[in-house]
């Protein structure tokens, strides 16, 4: 993805190659997308029949990009007498301004051509190289190209118009222009994406943020959000850069839900520009101390779509929180179960955890009272449908073996859960972090029951169940001779014994017995798991270890932020600081934007973090990572009507100052400063 360029505005995003072109492909989602449909699959610019090459690309803003182009191979740039600029911005559809500059010293004629086309592919069709079932028609007039796709009531349309006359044909537009010496020619191409609803209307027109709007409106909205966040002052430039980039990306990732008309944060570009239960909840936990007003919309959306029936196709069960919501053709025609899909075992306990953390931070008891039935239903799911084997643990096994997810924890790729020797266990599976989440959910719900719902008997019951779970877990999951917790239990109750980053989530949940915490920390920061850039998903030396394997050796920033939070909870502040330093050091090599994942090669070997080839970027919970790391370094913890501030800034970072932190206390400031001989080495 390194050579790809993207712009986005909520529900709509554009991904092109480094010169701004889109070529038909099922290998990777390049194109113009909106609501899970690709509206442009071909957009190729030529000058006199020749492709152009990028001299420079300005993609510093999420919604606008400028390409500076010249014809010929790079070795010919020195003699180029003509060049082109393509400026584009997005907002519902997108606009592209094409400018040809003639420096030949004489008047000249040029042929500018843009090849245009749309396959109207659903994102799932791109992933699996499926062909369309419906029918595409092409309409050509003197000033526009109209591409229309229909399959029964599913109706999408792409309309392209030019501000100057063009020769329009079924495959694009041609401009034959004469340009004087040292002069230029310009046109603007406007691309509209139309999403027709059941009544034949464009549903985008009913959504204030999803329709066509200009760059100024997008910039103003994003800046208003960024301005509401606390102000960071620090001596560490990587931290300052990562914080700025994170706020910018989180603002850009906001999209508008058709179902509620609410503004939510999409999970990530390009595959996950929608609501995800797990991702949205964890991002909300990361963002909460900085922009708490963003959280209620996500909570209410998840609560409104909480499972209420048994549906094998969608993996839906009463009380379960969704995994993923899609609006595309394959979901609409039930070729995929994502309307919504409930195939995750962790979204439900994480939902309860988020509601409690939100109330602790904001004091919004009204929302917690409103959501009491949803929290109780989620806890009931944990104890019933979630406990597939009746052992008191949270298990998963898809109800839909054809299209359902096999692994329903955050490491959801097919080979992510394995024994140390590389073998894969059968189903159902009970991964360790699920038990930690269930434990934490019950402890937190007990607080809500006692403090807000006035149900002390329910609170007592939940606390007894949590205590029993913790005792049972520490007996069944602890591998005594290796001194770490098993990744999972298999269906026969045997330990799935691979050493993984999942044990760090156990520290965050609080399910680890205190005497064992030090052993867990030793493994997390030991050479098998800690690469120097972060904690690997799977330890070096395990049977399936691969430093560029999606969940079997890569480093995930969000994963590390949760681990750092857990280290801090158990008092290992120095070790948490090592992870903070590693993540921020890595962010420098990604221009401040931490990707979804990067390779797990040792820092001593590479000297820089190696990119994972298909990592999403930006991705919401990676964008939220620097925010959570800031919370960890400054020791921010709500307690009653006050915010506890207990800084432990890693050596070398110098001053870290966060002003106007919002919460139930109003707004407060936090200041931390590292101590030690390395303090002069700021800006690392």
Q: Are residues 279 and 202 in the same domain?
A: no
Question: Please, which pLDDT band fits residue 269 given cuts at 50, 70 and 90?
Answer: confident
Q: Are 123 and 262 in the same domain?
A: no
Q: Confidence band (pLDDT; 50, 70, 90) for 681?
A: very low
Domain assignment present for residue 399? The answer is: yes
Backbone angles phi, psi at 559, to 5 degrees: -55, -45
CATH number, residue 341: 1.50.10.10
Cβ neighbours for 133, distance < 8 A, ≥ 6 positions apart: 151, 333
Domain span at residue 172 reads 5-215
Q: Is the pTM of this model over 0.85?
A: yes
614 confidence band (pLDDT: 50, 70, 90): confident
Residue 679 scores a pLDDT above 60: no
Confidence of residue 79 (pLDDT cuts 50, 70, 90): low
pLDDT in tens, 550-609: 999 999 999 999 999 999 999 999 999 999 999 999 999 999 999 999 999 999 999 999
What is the structure's pLDDT at 56?
Answer: 93
Write down the pLDDT at residue 680.
41
Take residue 558 and report the two structure tokens written for it.
């969000």
Do the domain assignments include residue 499? yes
The b/e string for 142-170 (b: 16+ C-beta within 10 A; e otherwise) is: eebbbbbbebeebbbbbbbbbeeebebee
pLDDT at 489: 98
User: Is residue 637 in a domain?
Assistant: yes
CATH number of the domain encompassing residue 208: 2.70.98.40
CA–CA gap between residue 211 and residue 203 (Å, rounded) = 9
Domain annotation covers residue 224: no
pLDDT for 371-397, tens place per residue? 999 999 999 999 999 999 999 999 999
Domain contains 221: no
Tokens at 552, concatenated: 């079997």
Residues 153 and 59 in one domain: yes
Domain-embedded: residue 382: yes
* Together in a domain, 164 and 267: no
Q: Does residue 198 sit in the same domain as residue 261?
A: no
Q: Are 141 and 243 contained in the same domain?
A: no
Same domain as 444, residue 356: yes
pLDDT of 207 = 66
Q: Is residue 220 part of a domain?
A: no
Q: Tell me the average pLDDT across 631-635.
A: 98
Which of 171, 193, 215 terminates a domain? The answer is 215
Q: Answer yes or no: do 600 and 541 share one domain.
A: yes
Shared-domain flag, residues 250 and 199: no
Ramachandran bin of 200, using left for φ above 0, alpha for ψ from -120 to 50, beta for the remaining angles = left
How far, in whole angstroms, is CA 602 from its chain's centroid? 25
Q: 209 and 318: one domain?
A: no
Number of structural domains found in the chain: 2
Beta strands in 465-609 (DSSP E): 478-479, 484-485, 488-489, 495-496
- Residue listed under structure tokens 């020769």: 167
Cα 615 to chain centroid, rounded: 10
Which of residues 184, 215, 246 is at a domain's end? Answer: 215
Tens-digit pLDDT profile for residues 196-207: 876 677 776 666
Is the per-residue pLDDT at 39 higher than 90? yes
Same domain as 280, residue 210: no
Are residues 489 and 597 part of one domain?
yes
- On whether residue 59 sits in a domain, the answer given is yes
For residue 549, which of 559, 557, 540 has the smallest C-alpha distance? 540
Query: Which pLDDT band, with edges at 50, 70 and 90, does 27 fall under?
Result: low
Give the mean pLDDT of the chain. Answer: 93
Of 215, 245, 280, the residue that ends a domain is 215
CB neighbours of 202 closer than 8 A, spacing ≥ 6?
A: 194, 195, 196
């Amino acid at each position: 993805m390194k050579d790809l360029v993207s712009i986005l505005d909520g529900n709509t995003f554009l991904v092109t190659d480094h010169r701004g072109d889109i070529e038909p492909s099922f290998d990777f989602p390049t194109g113009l997308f909106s609501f899970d449909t690709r509206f442009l699959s071909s957009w190729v610019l030529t000058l006199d029949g020749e492709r152009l090459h990028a001299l420079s690309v300005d993609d510093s803003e999420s919604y606008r990009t400028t390409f500076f182009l010249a014809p010929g191979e790079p070795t010919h740039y020195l003699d180029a007498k003509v060049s082109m600029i393509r400026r584009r911005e997005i907002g519902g559809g997108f606009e592209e301004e094409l400018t040809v500059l003639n420096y030949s010293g004489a008047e000249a004629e040029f042929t500018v051509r843009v090849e245009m086309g749309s396959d109207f592919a659903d994102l799932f069709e791109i992933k699996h190289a499926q062909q369309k079932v419906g029918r595409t028609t092409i309409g050509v007039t003197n000033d526009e190209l109209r591409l229309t796709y229909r399959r029964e009531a599913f109706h999408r349309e792409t309309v392209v118009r030019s501000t100057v006359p063009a020769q329009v044909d079924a495959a694009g537009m041609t401009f034959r222009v004469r340009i004087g010496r040292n002069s230029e020619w310009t046109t603007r191409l406007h691309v509209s994406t139309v999403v027709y609803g059941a009544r034949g209307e464009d549903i985008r027109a009913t959504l204030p943020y999803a329709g066509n709007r200009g760059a100024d409106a997008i910039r103003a909205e994003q800046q208003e959000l960024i301005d509401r966040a606390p102000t960071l002052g620090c001596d560490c430039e990587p931290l300052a850069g990562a914080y700025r980039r994170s706020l910018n990306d989180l603002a850009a990732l906001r999209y508008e839900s058709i179902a509620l008309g609410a503004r939510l944060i999409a999970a990530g570009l390009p595959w996950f520009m929608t609501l995800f239960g797990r991702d949205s909840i964890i991002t909300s936990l990361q963002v909460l101390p900085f922009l708490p007003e963003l959280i209620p919309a996500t909570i209410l959306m998840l609560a409104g779509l909480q499972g209420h029936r048994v549906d094998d196709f969608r993996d839906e069960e009463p009380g379960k929180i969704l995994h993923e919501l899609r609006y595309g053709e394959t979901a609409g025609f039930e070729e995929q179960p994502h309307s919504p899909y409930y195939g995750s075992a962790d979204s439900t306990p994480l939902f309860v955890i988020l509601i409690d953390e939100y109330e602790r931070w904001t004091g919004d008891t009204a929302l917690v009272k409103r959501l009491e039935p949803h929290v109780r239903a989620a806890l009931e799911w944990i104890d019933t449908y979630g406990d597939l084997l009746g052992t008191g643990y949270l298990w998963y096994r898809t109800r839909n073996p054809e299209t359902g997810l096999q692994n329903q924890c955050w490491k959801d790729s097919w080979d992510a859960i394995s024994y140390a020797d590389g073998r894969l266990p059968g189903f159902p599976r009970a991964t360790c972090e699920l038990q930690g989440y269930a434990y934490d959910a019950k402890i937190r719900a007990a607080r809500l029951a006692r403090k807000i719902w006035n149900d002390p008997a329910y609170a007592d019951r939940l606390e007894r169940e949590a205590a029993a779970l913790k005792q049972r877990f520490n007996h069944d999951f602890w591998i005594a001779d290796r001194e770490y917790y098993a990744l999972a239990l298999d269906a026969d109750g045997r330990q799935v014994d691979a050493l993984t980053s999942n044990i760090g989530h156990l520290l965050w949940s609080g399910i680890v017995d205190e005497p064992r915490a030090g052993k867990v920390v030793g493994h997390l920061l030991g050479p098998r798991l800690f690469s120097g850039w972060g904690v690997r998903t799977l330890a070096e030396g395990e049977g399936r270890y691969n430093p560029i394997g999606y969940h079997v050796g890569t480093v995930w920033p969000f994963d590390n932020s949760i681990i750092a939070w857990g280290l801090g909870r158990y008092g290992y502040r120095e070790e948490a600081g090592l992870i903070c330093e590693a993540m921020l050091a890595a962010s420098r090599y990604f221009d401040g934007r931490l990707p979804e994942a990067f390779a797990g090669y040792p820092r001593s070997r590479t000297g820089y973090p190696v990119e994972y080839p298909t990592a999403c970027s930006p991705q919401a919970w990676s964008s939220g990572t620097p925010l959570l790391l800031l919370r960890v370094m400054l020791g921010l913890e709500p307690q009653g009507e006050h915010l506890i501030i207990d800084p432990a800034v890693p050596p070398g970072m110098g001053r870290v100052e966060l002003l106007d932190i919002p919460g139930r206390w109003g707004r407060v400031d936090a200041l931390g400063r590292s101590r030690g001989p390395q303090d002069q080495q700021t800006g690392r």
